[in-house]
Structure formats: structure tokens, C-alpha cells
């Protein structure tokens, strides 16, 4: 029996890609789920697929009240919130001359600020309960220096620094904190690049699939209470980094 069975897991960015794969994996392990994303139709379809142990909230994760609404929904529907997976993210790239500055604020709000806010909101509840787990989805891009990707990589590096700090702060509280950093994974995150006439990063190598990242999240969560896996990096076998 999985140690995840019966736990309540809240997953952001759950309407497709890595988030949806995490939802399916944890549902198979017996978790009850609270899913959020902006696309209501996708959430409804996934919730119907996963069954009655699934609740969902169509919302913008960068809105200041979304984290509290998710915690309230988890408590109302299932009585607790045991796991938080901060997965929502957007990717915009560009050179000094071509980067769309209007994309800067949404990237900061979604990729960093929302994850920090959600981590704090849920960490407070988990600390009071004496148990819980927070998993932040980073990227191997946090430690790559590549032209045109400085905003995305910089925000992921900031998220990793925050995640490490939160893990240390919560040590001994019963709340475990870690991160999973995917390599090149085939998801919709590259759609904007392709719409701009660029090649997506998943076209250069044989990419990982969302299920690979979901398996890494589950591995982190299934560690015994005495162990915390602080970070898992998952590379495509073709990633030469």
C-alpha cells in the first residue's frame, strides 16, 4: 500500500502536461485530489476521468486569493490538505532585442510569486497539523546559462533558493519540502515558441514525457517520514548538459 493512499493532494497547473500526469499518478496511488488551472473544461474532463475523489477550482494561480481558496476547498471537500505540488508555469524566451517585456510580469507572478504564496499558505496549515509535503516543480534551466532564457532560468533559480530555505525552516516540523527539476519535457509549454516560428526545445532531443516527471514527484512523496529528498533532477537521455 502506498503511503500516499488517502492523502489529499493539491496540484496547480493541472489541466494538461506535467500537472495532469501528476494528478493521474497520485490518483493511482490512492490520493484524493484538488486540481486547479485556468481552463475549466480541461479540469472538468480530468476530474471526471479520475472519479469522485477529485475536486477542482478553475482559477488564475497568480491571483492573490487563489491559494487560500484552494486550501479552503481541500478542507471543505476532504477535511485536510496533506500535499501541495506547485507545478503551474509559463515559458517566454527572447533575446535582448526581441523579448516581450509585457510577458515579464505574468512570468514572475506565475512562476515565482504564486508558488511562494501557495507554499506559505499551505505550510502554515501543514505545520499546525504536524505533517505535510510541498513539492515545487523547477527546471534544469535553473542552472543553465543560455541566451534568451535568462528570465525563465532566473525565476526557476529563485524558486529553488526559496524551496531550500523553506525546507530548512520547516525541518523538524513534520512538513517536508523538496523540488523536482525536469529536463526537456514534451508539453504545451513550448507552444508559444512554436507559434512565434521558433523550434521548441523538445524538437532538439528525444524529450521526456509528463509521466516521467510524475513518477519523480511520487518517488519524493513516498519517502519514509525520517527522510527528505530535497531535489530530484530528471534529464532526457538526449540532454547534453
Confidence of residue 241 (pLDDT cuts 50, 70, 90): low
Nearest to residue 206, comparing CAs of 226, 234, 236? 236
Provide the CA 52 distance to its chain's centre, in angstroms: 23
Task: Answer yes or no: 241 catalytic.
Answer: no
Q: In the predicted model, is pLDDT for residue 97 greater than 80?
A: yes
Marked catalytic residue, from 112, 152, 219, 235: 152
Q: What is the pLDDT of residues 143-153, one digit of tens each?
A: 988 888 899 99
pLDDT of residue 98: 87
pLDDT of residue 192: 72
Q: What is the pLDDT of residues 188-234, one digit of tens each?
A: 776 676 777 777 666 677 898 999 999 999 999 999 999 999 999 99
pLDDT of residue 80: 97
Q: For the chain, what is the mean pLDDT?
A: 93
pLDDT of residue 137: 98
Q: Is the pTM of this model over 0.75?
A: yes
Domains of the chain are 8-234 (3.40.50.720)
Q: In the predicted model, is pLDDT for residue 21 greater than 90?
A: yes
Q: In the predicted model, is pLDDT for residue 67 greater than 70?
A: yes
Q: What is the pLDDT of residues 157-181, one digit of tens each?
A: 999 999 999 999 999 999 999 999 9
Cell matching residue 34: 484538488
Better-scored residue on pLDDT, 240 or 206: 206
The percentage of residues in the chain with a pLDDT greater than 70, rounded to a whole number, is 95
Confidence of residue 36 (pLDDT cuts 50, 70, 90): very high
Pairing between strand 175-182 and 32-37?
unpaired
pLDDT of residue 93: 86
Q: Are 199 and 193 in contact (CB under 8 A)?
A: yes
pLDDT of residue 240: 64
What's the average model confidence in pLDDT over 84-113? Answer: 94
pLDDT of residue 197: 73
| CA atoms of 32 and 83, how far apart (whole Å) | 10
Amino acid at each position: 500500500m502506498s503511503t500516499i493512499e488517502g492523502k489529499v493532494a493539491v496540484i496547480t497547473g493541472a489541466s494538461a502536461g506535467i500537472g495532469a500526469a501528476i494528478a493521474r499518478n497520485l490518483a493511482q496511488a490512492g490520493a484524493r485530489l484538488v486540481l486547479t488551472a485556468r481552463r475549466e473544461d480541461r479540469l472538468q474532463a480530468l476530474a471526471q476521468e479520475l472519479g469522485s475523489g477529485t475536486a477542482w477550482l478553475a482559477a488564475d494561480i497568480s491571483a492573490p486569493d487563489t491559494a487560500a481558496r484552494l486550501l479552503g476547498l481541500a478542507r471543505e471537500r476532504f477535511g485536510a490538505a496533506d500535499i501541495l505540488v506547485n507545478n503551474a508555469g509559463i515559458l517566454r524566451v527572447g533575446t535582448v532585442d526581441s523579448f516581450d517585456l509585457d510577458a515579464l510580469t505574468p512570468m514572475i507572478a506565475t512562476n515565482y510569486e504564486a508558488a511562494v504564496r501557495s507554499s506559505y499558505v499551505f505550510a502554515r496549515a501543514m505545520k499546525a497539523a504536524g505533517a505535510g509535503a510541498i513539492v515545487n516543480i523547477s527546471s534544469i534551466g535553473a542552472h543553465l546559462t543560455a541566451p534568451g532564457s535568462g528570465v525563465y532560468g532566473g525565476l526557476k533559480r529563485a524558486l529553488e533558493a526559496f524551496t531550500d530555505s523553506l525546507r530548512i525552516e520547516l525541518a523538524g516540523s513534520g512538513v517536508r519540502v523538496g523540488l523536482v527539476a525536469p529536463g526537456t519535457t514534451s508539453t504545451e509549454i513550448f507552444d508559444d515558441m512554436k507559434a512565434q516560428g521558433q523550434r521548441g526545445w523538445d524538437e532538439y532531443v528525444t524529450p521526456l514525457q509528463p509521466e516521467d516527471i510524475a513518477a519523480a514527484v511520487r518517488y519524493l512523496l513516498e519517502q519514509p517520514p525520517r527522510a527528505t529528498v530535497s531535489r530530484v533532477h530528471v534529464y532526457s537521455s538526449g540532454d547534453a548538459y
